[in-house]
Every structure is written in C-alpha cells, then in structure tokens.
Structure 1
C-alpha cells in the first residue's frame, strides 16, 4: 500500500492511495477463510468447501467489501501516522475508473485538516458575575401575578350587563329541531365569556345579559363536531341568567399559597424568592458566558478550515432568512447567499467551537448518560402526550443526539474555564441585569 502526498496548502491536504492487486487479493482470501467454516455447498460438508471453489463462487461479492476495508484501513493508518484530524468527511474518489480484477486500486483523498489550537491560560481571564437578590418588591410583584392567574369572581352590581371576561352563572337547555338533546343541559353552570369553551358564537351572544334575564342563543354545531348526530345542526339554547360576576384578583393569603402547593404564604414567598434568584442566576450566567467567549475570541488566533466556515455561514444566513420570512415553513425558496457579516459571525463561532472542543478534550470533559437523559426528558415535555415517541426518536437518531449533547458539553467546558478564571461578584438591581441581558440580544 502506498500513500503519496499531492497537496499541502494551509489546511488543505491531498493524497493518492494505491492498494496493490496482491494486497487486495490477500484481503479477499482473508475474508473467505474467515467465512469458510460456516459455508455450506451441495456435495461438501459444512466448512469443507475448497478455497478455490469459494473464491470462484463468492470472490466477486467479497471484492467490494475487501476494497472498502483496504481503503478505510489505509486512511485510518494515514491519520494515525500524520496526526491530522479532518475538519469534515474526507472526499474520496477512485481514480482508475476502468479498474478490472487483477489491477491495483488507485484512490484520491482530499480534506481540510483541523488546525493546531494554541494554549490558553484561563487564569488570565477576568470575569464579573452580576448578583441580584430577590427583594420584597420583586416577591410582591410575583405574588400579584400569581393572584391574577388564580382570579376569583365577585357579583357585579344589580342590573349590570355582562362584559367579555365576566363569569355568567346560568341554567341552560339545548334543543335541536325543538327537542332537547343529551348533554345539552346544565344548571348553575359558570361560563367565562371569551374563554372559547363553548360552541363558536355562543359566548358572544351572552355579552350584555343581566341577572334574571332569559336569553335564547342560536348556534350551529361545527361540521367536525365529535357527536355525529349533532354535526352541522342548528341548535337553540334557552339560557336563564342567575348571576353576572366580574373577575377579581385572588387575595394574597394562605389560601392562595395552598392553591399553588405551598403550606402557607410564607412558604410560597420563600419558593418565589428561590425561583427568582434561580432566574437571575441563569441570566447572570448568560452575561458572564458572553464576556468569557469575547475574551477567548481575542486571546487566540489560528487558521480556520474554509469548509467549516462556509457551512456555518450558510446555516446562519438560512436561519436568519427564515426568521425574517416566518410564513415560509419549508425550504422551497430562492438560494440564500451568505454575506460578509454572516461569514464574520461564522468565523467567530467556528474559532470558539474548535477552541472549546480542544479545551474540553484536554480537561476530559464528558457528557454523562444521566445528563443526556435529563436533557431529552426536558425537551420531550414540549410534546405533551408524545413524550415516549420523542424519547425513542432521539435514541435512534445520532444527529439529534449530537445536537442535544453539544450545548451541554459547551456549558461544562465554560464552567471548567470559569473555575480557573478570576471572577469578581457585583451586586446589581434587577433592572441593571435586564439591561445587560438585552445588550446581549442587540449584539
């Protein structure tokens, strides 16, 4: 086997690989010998078929496998000796297309090598960690928001008309063709107008009703209604309005706390403070991580594989185009050209990606099975009722697993670097932290 270099410019590499006919023949024989004990053929006992007959019968079939294994072996040996790591899958082509059995196999291989990554002294990184305490005002604001979500309803003044958002308590009887139908009646039913919990057009007709009023509401069941005998039918609901109530925020007391699973109001406040500080901590970490990446980007400089930069720039351009054209869901659109701005951002991402990968490898950072499982479970919650299907899909999809593993790995590498960096804490207000987060989004 011969490997001759044909290209060495920057990170671009090119080689001609020759697998001799003798080597290929030996590989075929090796595979046939390996298979011989299991081969059965008429006139011979199992495992006793002569090699010459095996080669005649199965040689052509085994040749392709032998050729691929020989080439893969040559490539593996080359990368082990040279120390090169290809940035993307090498481009491998057979150059003697008129090959016939008995000829040498000639292959060309081209790729871009990953660059050597310079050392980084993490102790020279200076970071500022913004700290926000959950003060009484923030806790009270959060309590107010909870009270609004747990709203109660209080009776309106006598004679007041129902408004959108009010609760109407009523008895009703629904009829189709003058006959009451099963499931179409109720007593003391509390209906919030505008909740869209009834048939389309029903709630709108109750806006303006008063306590004690009787109202006939005429609606048509949708054509896709679940009850077959009611699909598309017109119905009249005779409604007796027993009360009209307006929404009021729930009282902030122990009862409210119990609605949200806490023993009392003090326990709920403690939970809110803990949740707020977790949110502040997450936002603070995002700000500190950006500062870290900015510093790392300035600390290192090395040649970047053009193929990685071009691929990343294309992906950035494609993603931004879809964000600007949200109505286009598929990929049936004009070709999107990456701009200089896209390429500049791509260079930063590729440079930092390669640097973090190198630092993580040297620090032996790994993503555990438990961390992957937790990440999959968290994402699966976005698909209620289909969690199992999503979990199984990810387990069978290597690319999806890699997409989910990458951000976990990156965060663990960032944490590793922060441990060696000089970090100072600075207590700020919630508003100051919010401005710092907004500044990230503007960049």
Structure 2
C-alpha cells in the first residue's frame, strides 16, 4: 500500500487544483498527487446566486475527474493525519503516502457544536444557508411571506465574510418584487462592529442598507439556535453604555445604545440573563467554520487551529517542505477563491525554487483578497483589499469600464454572473494566468 510522490497536495478544491495545474502547466514538477475523496468539484461563489433564483445549481458542479490536471495522480481517499518528521500523510484506506513536498489545502470543515441547536435546525424548514444547501435557501426565500427575516453569522472565520450580507440584499429585492416586503422586517445580526472593514465599501453598503430599510445589529455573538421555538440566541460582544438599552421593551424609556443598532426595528426579542433571543420567521446563517479535524489535531496548526505558515511565502513555520494556502491556512486575510488566485503562484514558485536551488524565492503574497458584494439583482460592489486593509482595485477592471469598484455597478454583476465562472473553469482550474 501507499506510494511516494515528489509533490503531494491535500485537497481538490480551488487551492489544491490551482497549485497542481500551475505546476503541471509550467512543467515544474513531473510527479504530483492529489488526495481528494469527493467525486464533485463545486464553484461555490455562485451558490449565492442559486439561492436568489438566478443561477442553475447544476452549473456549479463538475466531476472531480474532469478537474484533476492531466498527468497528476488522483488518490481518491481521505487524508486522516500527518507524520511531518517522516514526510508522511496517513489516509483512510490507501495506506501512508510519502512526499518530498506537501501542500495542505483541504478547505474548511463545519463544526455545528460551536452553536448548539444549529446543526439540528440547518437546511430544514425556515432555516437555511447558501453555504450548505443553496437550493433549500432559494425555497425558503421564495416561500417567505412575512415576519422577521433574520440574517446572521457565527463568530468563527467563515468563507467570504460578505456572503451572509449578499444573500440578504438579494432576498430583500426578491421580497419587494414578490410584493411581500411590507409584511416583514429584515434584520442582520453580526458579532462585527461595522458592516465592512474598509471605509469606502462600508459607506456604499450603508447606502444599500438605507435603501432597503434593513436593521443592522452589531456585537451580536450567535451562541445557540432554538429550531423549535424559532429563536436565535446572542450574547453581546461589549458592555451596554450606562443608562441605555439594546432593545426597547415595554414602557422602558431608556434611549438605545446606538453602537449596537443601526436603523432599529422593533422585532420580538426575549431577554434571559445576558442573552438576547431574536425570534425569527426565517433564518439564514453561515455555518461555524474550522479546519478539518485531521488538520486541527496535527502538529501543523497554530493556537487558533489553522495551518501555521509565513503570511508572505506560505511556507510552514516549522517544516520547510510543507506549504499551505486557501481556507485552512493561517493567512490573516479573507478566505476566498480570489485570495487563492494570488496565493497559488507564490507557492508554485517557492516549490520550484526549493527543488532546483534548495531555497525559496522573493515572491511575496501581500494578503490580496476580494469579496464581490452583490447588492441587488444587476448590481455589485467589488471589495478588494490586502493585509493592511488598503482598498486595492485590480487594474483589469478599468478595461471593463468599471472606474470605481467601490460603487454599485451592473458591469460588476455581469462579471460575477458570467465572467468569473468562465475564468474559474477555463483559466484558473487549468493553471493559466488570470
């Protein structure tokens, strides 16, 4: 059993396939293997559009066999553990696989135990997530007739921090078109302190929130979901200012603490001790996300449970022949495919130089990530940023006649719906420069 490969990649997602296909295309390596148990590769960024009824779910899927680059070995199995001192990866059924160089990119796993009750409730009834079942999310949105539409997210890092907002903006548009918007309040509850980390983008999004009459609730840490009673329970991320309150109840004349609320709406909230329970008639959330168990329980991770790598070279801090990129890495940037697009070439060059010269190169990843924030049917803002949270628009957008990607634009919507999926399947997955 078991086999040896010059480069071993764990994960057949965006990160693993991009690294493998670039190494193959550039003829940097002859012997690459990819450990990936799944039969299907998904283009996940389109799931938001699926949940808004404007993209076909089947078009987000391709057989894994068609995505694995020609010439690479597909080890169709689950990785179960590491023995980095002996350059080994354990698998579920195919024995140990040894390597000269290892790339760890299995993507995120979901840990529902972090929000008790959510695992039982998710993807059933009125509780949905574009992350786990975008078709169910579309059913929920399509059939929603009124009450409190609650959009929220857990406190863990999640794939694309903007995703829980995007589906809310599209759902709100759909409710308007369907003539049911007047029967409801739309609430966004987040543990964050503002709508977005970059001021220019936040300013645009607050205008969208105003236009759509959405209530934002900040410092709201999701701690439990009661699926039967339809209550999402929160603890507050900071103290309430003296003499104020978070929600108005009864004849309580205290003023609201404005740091918790933007565009306050009086929806039903139950207060028990330090917990605030928002009653929902529809709930959308991202699942609590962590590195997969076999990664978390290995010697490769930092205290937070992510693979511990140098944030510019993506080389492991302890094992020089191990690299990690994408969602499972410790890189302090947004976990998106756009980030992987800029990470992969750095990993590829460093592996190439290690093989040829036994040292890594000077190419550095600056933390680039982007979050396409769909704000309406036919409108999008593109947040692009680096480690310093500088707004860093891609010069290629100027060729599309988008001169300020921090503003809503229909051309950006066309990019999201048609341009990016095309580039993904035909360029990124094939190792071509994008």
What TM-score comes out, normalization by structure 2 length?
0.18
Higher percent of residues as helix: 1
Larger Rg: 1
Compare the two structures and name the one with the higher strand fraction: 2
